[in-house]
Amino acid sequence: MLDKWRKNQIAKDKAEIAAIEVKGVQGLRQKAQAVRTFIANHPDVANQDTQKAAELVMRLVKQIRTSDLLVEFKRLGILKKADVLKLTITVNNKKVYEFKSEDKVKSISFMNNKEKDLSWQPGDLIIIEVWSDRSWMPYSSLEKLGTKEINDPLAIRKLEGTIYMKNKNDGSAKFKNNRIKLTCDVLGWSAKDWTLVQDWIAPGKKWNCFLCSMHHKLFDG
């Protein structure tokens, strides 16, 4: 049975964790460390998912700081009619990746230029753009076919799986099924990993629900 002092300490620790804002690497690390400390101090009221999420965040922080968080670009397409395709990635208003097909193609497989550290930090806006590059023509031009803006504290997680882009000037009509899609992968991470981090740390909605449930058990039970 928990005494009154212990109950008050748990409530205090809970409030301190809830107040931590995930802004930048430091905020992410601070919240993960606070959750780990909470688990160490109150192992009887925590769960395995919180521990796993905190460990994942500490790994993420390390990868960001060592430029070891790599995104693998797999495939872009599929055009109805072959064209010279170009993909650009902008992070925090800085172009960090560009790939252009050498010839007219219906899709890009990226081949030897598929893994990239995007120099991403928590809170950075990621913008993905797809172009038709007609620099080979007498009057060269770039036509933007589609774009995707990812504005999320953990925007990098959205690069796990298939991304569908909004068309620009009906650019999607040039693609099969009228859909522009990019398939990519954050190396070493799974969709389940990102879900745990999102649920329990950033922003941590499930963590807040867990704390509410825990509060009722402690004070009403």
User: Which pLDDT belongs to residue 29?
Assistant: 93
Burial 78-113 (b: 16+ CB within 10 A, else e): ebeeebbbbbbbbbeeeebbebebeeebeebebeee
The two three-digit tokens of residue 53, written as one number: 């999420």
- Which pLDDT does position 213 carry in this prediction? 55
pLDDT of residue 210: 60
pLDDT value at residue 112: 73
Residue 14 confidence (pLDDT): 81
pLDDT of residue 88: 96
Which CATH fold topology does 70-188 show?
Answer: Immunoglobulin-like (2.60.40)
Question: Tell me, what's the pLDDT at 203?
Answer: 85
Q: What is the pLDDT of residue 212?
A: 59
pLDDT value at position 217?
A: 53
**HEC profile for the chain?**
CCCHHHHHHHHHHHHHHHCCCCCHHHHHHHHHHHHHHHHHHCCCCCCHHHHHHHHHHHHHHHHHHCCCCEEEEEEEECECCCECEEEEEEECCEEEEEEECCCCECEECCHHHCEEECCCCCCCCEEEEEEEECCCCCCCCEEEEEEEEECCCCHHHHHCEEEEEEECCCHHHHEHHHCEEEEEEECCCCHHHHHHHHHHCCCCHHHHHHHHHHHHHHHCC
Report domain extents, the chain: 4-66+192-219, 70-188
Average confidence (pLDDT) per 10 residues, the chain, 221 residues: 76 84 89 93 87 95 95 94 95 95 93 86 95 74 91 93 82 86 95 94 79 53 52
Q: What is the pTM of this model?
A: 0.86
